[in-house]
Structure 1
Amino acid sequence: MMRRNRFKQALAATILASAALLSQFAFAQDSSKTSSDSKIRNIDGVAAVVNTGYVTRKEIDDRIVALQKQGTKLPDAATLRKTVLERLILEKIQIQNAEQEGVTVSNKELDKIISDIAAKNKLTIAELKVKIEATGSSYERYRAMLRDDVIISRYREREVEGKIKISDAEVDNFILDRNRSVAGVGKATRSTPAAKGEPEEIDVAQIFIPADASAGVGAQAEAKKKAESLLRDARGDVDFLQLGAMAAKDNPKIKFQELGYRTPDRLPQLFYEAVRNTGSGQVANAVVKSPAGYHVLKVLDRRALVAGAPEVQQAAPQESTPSTPQNIMVTQTLSRHILLRSRAGLTDQDAERRLAGYRDQVRAKTADFGELAKKYSEDGSAANGGNLGWMGPGDLVPEFDQAMNRLQIGEVSNPVKTEFGWHLIQVLERREAQLTLEKQRQFARAAIRERKFEQAYQDWLRELRDTATVKIINADDPAASPR
């Protein structure tokens, strides 16, 4: 019941996360988004014409005001204005293309998303409307902004996912490389470096901790602290991508990927400057800050750029390379829970209060968790004292998985809400388990997709921008300033 297809989970989480983020912006900003089919408009108010639409200077102003209200450190005014304009242009292009491709959000779907946002903020729909209107905006404008955001999310997921191709050979090679890494085979192997002045390719991996311009000062500081901690860990004798996987398990917003061999001009400029003098197998000297967050970088390899160069020889004969499925290990958790299902007549406050009471009894050792689960839990595991069996990464819904992973053995959680209702969780044991062949291939495919997604997304955005007709008219002056 609680197991879910990983891709569907990720897509749903992306849409809901985007919606929640947009709702926070709606509270903070007074947007005055004008109707795109208005026949009368002052050309002085248009910052850029985007295909058949446009971005206004007022839209830029409102987005900047919203960012400023977040209290985060922003670049200088000119750079900020240029960055915001580019972001709005890309949003406009995506909306236009999505409409042409028939990507829509029905009123019923939008109502459901808004209902989820209200529930997440512990508000009724009426209370949500009051908060929106208190900002000087309107509920109708809020719905329009939210609809655009969800359409962009769906269009992006459909288009980018469609561009990611993963062959069986890639999966096989991933498993083989991971097995070699586990066994310590080939660790010292390096490609032939380029001679001074000769062209080269660099294989860079990154662990990315998001903290964009909309994040508050506290969130920025926390992200930087986490990045610096990961940088220190990466300097030790650890597998860099495995370190990224562990960090992502603790915080799903953290991403890790191997960029693959690229010439310097195909690396982000910030990345190349950071690793320009970094040798193979070495970590960049410092965390890299970008507008999107913080990046921990490692040069996996550097090699001469020679057409038709032979593949790097293996450090050990093929026969001695472990390749059996049991060589990929994952952490599994044995846990139990008490579930109070969402239903009419049981408010969130009542469910939290009841579970908090059970938690206090267990902590005070006046009641046994298993006995409480048998008596009060409202799912099929109740007969077994709430025992869910051994679960690995991705086997449970994200909210439950994240809360469970934060617990020590024997510890009982605070009440946790998921799509199924409210849970109280206790971790009984953890173990390192061997993946079956089927699970191993699922794990490999998901890891490869994770690595490829960010590059595919950035390439897709560049393609959209390059193929659109964009004319910048006057973006430098605020809307209130005369030209």
Structure 2
Amino acid sequence: MIPLLLSGTAYAGVPLDRIVAVVNEDVIMQSELRNKLRTIMSQLTEKNAQLPPRDILEKQVLEQLILNKLQLQFAASTGILVDDETLNRAIGNIATENKLNLSQFREILERDGYSYEAFREDIRNEIIISRLKQRQVDNRITVTDREIDNFLVTEEVQSGTETEYRLSHILITTPEESTQEEIEQARMVAEKVLEDLANGEDFAMLARTISDGQQAQDGGDLGWRKAGDIPSLFAEQVSTLKEGEVSELIQNPGGFHIIKLAAVRSSDKYMVTQTRARHILIRPNELVTDNDAKARLEQLKLRLEGGGSFEELARLNSEDPASAVNGGDLGWSNPGSTVPEFENEMSQLEPGEMSNPFKTPFGWHIVQVMERRQHDNTEDLKRARAREIIRARKIEEAQLNWLRSLRDEAYVEYRLDDI
């Protein structure tokens, strides 16, 4: 798993030698390209994917590096930074996910020839780019209740099941201000791809070799999507396709698209186990230490076990104002609706049982499970999922447009052919 995390990390001892691209006032070095290329090839090999010709893959990877460089330049100009504390926490999480402590993780990286410091900077850059996209694009996306209502009607997801589609995508781009000749050249390339597909060529291989889309190196795989999660540009074509079929050319200002409906599946009603619980929260502060908060809850628990009223003690002592007025009652909650630490404690309790004091990011708690029930959460889930789908679709289209604008406004000089 660790090699998949090393998205372009420089190898220890590899010199930065030649410039392969100039990006505004910055450069991309041959060693950066080589290391990123090696990582991508390793990932594709691990997936048993057929590799495209090296020169084509090299150009695709270089374009990725250019886009990353442009985003980092923009982030720097707008003051987006990632401090060492945030970076250390992120790397610690990566190590934990690999069931390693930080020292073991670093040792494995260096044993395999990877520079730990370069790895740190790669992770820092990934966080910066994520924050940049969130600020420039994601945070500006809104979804209204009317959009959700329209989505639920037009996409016909009000039955007990929802259909999911697995799509693959090939994109042949055209410049933002294309001449008619450039558009026709791109059309000819796209039509040749359609012809090759009709003759039995593998879609994933053609995507890796030809596509300008962001998922090109994954064979154009867009993953499983609900009906409303499909970009509106493709939705009409997808609705007419049978499993395994390929669309006609779909043109928009970004270029020519080809979509394959790789698979279809359905999901049933969504039943959840809901929990009704109540709690008392004590927050540490400048005057109340963690030990103080925990000790205070231990005393309250003794009073509860001695017959004290949970409702009364919650009203008098809990520092969660929203639930304190209701005697600590949190109402019915779905799985995943509370922070992991709270949910983990709550899930271990039977109705009527009460936890020992435990800590979450909000402070120290004791929680008592009042009751549980099976609940058909399909309608709530549909609206929540509709909101997520609409938002994700808007974000995807907005990010693509933003990246394209960033790329078109940049000065980029390729020097790959000089090597």
TM-score (norm 2): 0.52
Is the aligned partner of 1:296 residue 2:296?
Answer: no
- CA distance in 1 between partners of 2:340 and 2:57 (Å): 34
The Cα of 1:398 is off from its aligned counterpart by 8.8
Q: Which consecutive unaligned segments of at least 5 residues does structure 2 have?
A: 170-203, 209-214, 248-258, 264-268, 277-329, 344-359, 362-371
1:331 deviates by 3.3
- The aligned counterpart of 2:55 is 78
The answer (yes or no) to whether the contact 1:95–1:152 under 8 Å persists in 2 is: yes
Pick the aligned partner of 1:331 from 271, 276, 286.
271
The counterpart of 1:395, out of the listed 337, 345, 348, is 337
Distance 1:27 1:61 in 2: 9
Task: Tell me the equivalent position of 2:38.
Answer: 65
**Residue 458 (structure 1) aligned to one of 397, 400, 406:** 400
SS at match of 1:333: strand
Identify which of 100, 103, 106 aligns with 1:126. Answer: 103
Aligned AA (1:283): K
Structure 1 CA distance, aligned partners of 2:63 and 2:334?
Answer: 41
Structure 1 vs Structure 2 CA RMSD: 4.8
State the distance in 1 between where 2:13 and 2:397 align.
Answer: 34
Deviation, structure 1 residue 144: 1.4
User: Counterparts of 1:29 and 1:390 in 2: how far apart (Å)?
Assistant: 50
Match of 1:432 in 2: 376
Structure 1: runs of 5 or more not aligned: 1-19, 35-40, 185-204, 214-219, 231-239, 245-255, 289-293, 299-328, 337-387, 402-418, 421-427, 478-482
Contact 1:331 1:393 in 2 (8 A): no
Superposed CA deviations along residues 15-71 of structure 1, whole A, max 9, x for unmatched, are: xxxxx978732798626788xxxxxx86xx111100111111221111112222332
> What is the aligned length?
274
SS in 2 for 1:82: helix
CA distance in 2, matches of 1:180, 1:139: 48
Q: Looking at CA atoms only, which structure, 1 or 2, has the larger radius of gyration? A: 2
Specify whether residues 286 and 108 from structure 1 end up closer, same or farther in structure 2 by C-alpha distance, changes over 3 A only. Answer: same
Q: CA deviation at 1:125?
A: 1.8
Counterparts of 2:159 and 2:7, CA distance in 1: 48
Q: What's the counterpart of residue 198 of structure 1?
A: none
Q: 1:104 to 1:21 in 2, by over 3 A?
A: farther
Q: After TM superposition, list the pairs within 5 Å mapping 1:140-151 onto structure 2.
A: 140-151=117-128
In structure 1, C-alpha distance between the alignment counterparts of 2:231 and 2:119, rounded to whole Å: 38
Amino acid at match of 2:33: I
**Cα displacement (A) at 1:86:** 0.3
Equivalent residue of 1:283, what SS?
coil
**What is the distance in 2 between the residues matched to 1:282 and 1:50?**
41
1:52 equivalent in alignment to 2:25:
yes
1:467 aligns with one of 402, 409, 413: 409
Q: Distance in 1 between matches of 2:374 and 2:246?
A: 32
Counting aligned pairs with the same residue, the percent is 30
One-letter code aligned to 2:230: E
Instruction: Give the C-alpha shift of residue 454 in structure 1.
Output: 1.8
**Structure 2 match to 1:7:** none
Q: Which amino acid aligns with 2:38?
A: V
CA distance in 1 between partners of 2:61 and 2:106 (Å): 27
CA distance in 2 between counterparts of 1:430 and 1:30 reads 53
For normalisation by structure 1, the TM-score amounts to: 0.46
Give the Cα separation in 2 of the matches to 1:449 and 1:297: 24
Contact kept, 8 Å, 1:332 with 1:390, in 2: the verdict is no
Contact in 2 for aligned 1:25/1:66 (Cα 8 Å) = yes
CA distance in 2 between partners of 1:179 and 1:62 (Å): 47
Structure 2 distance, partners of 1:174, 1:443, is 11
CA distance in 2, matches of 1:209, 1:162: 28
Q: What is the deviation of 1:171?
A: 2.9
Give the C-alpha shift of residue 465 in structure 1. 0.8
Alignment of 1:90-109 (within 5 A): 90-109=67-86
What CA distance in whole angstroms lies between the structure 2 residues aligned with 1:159 and 1:21? 30
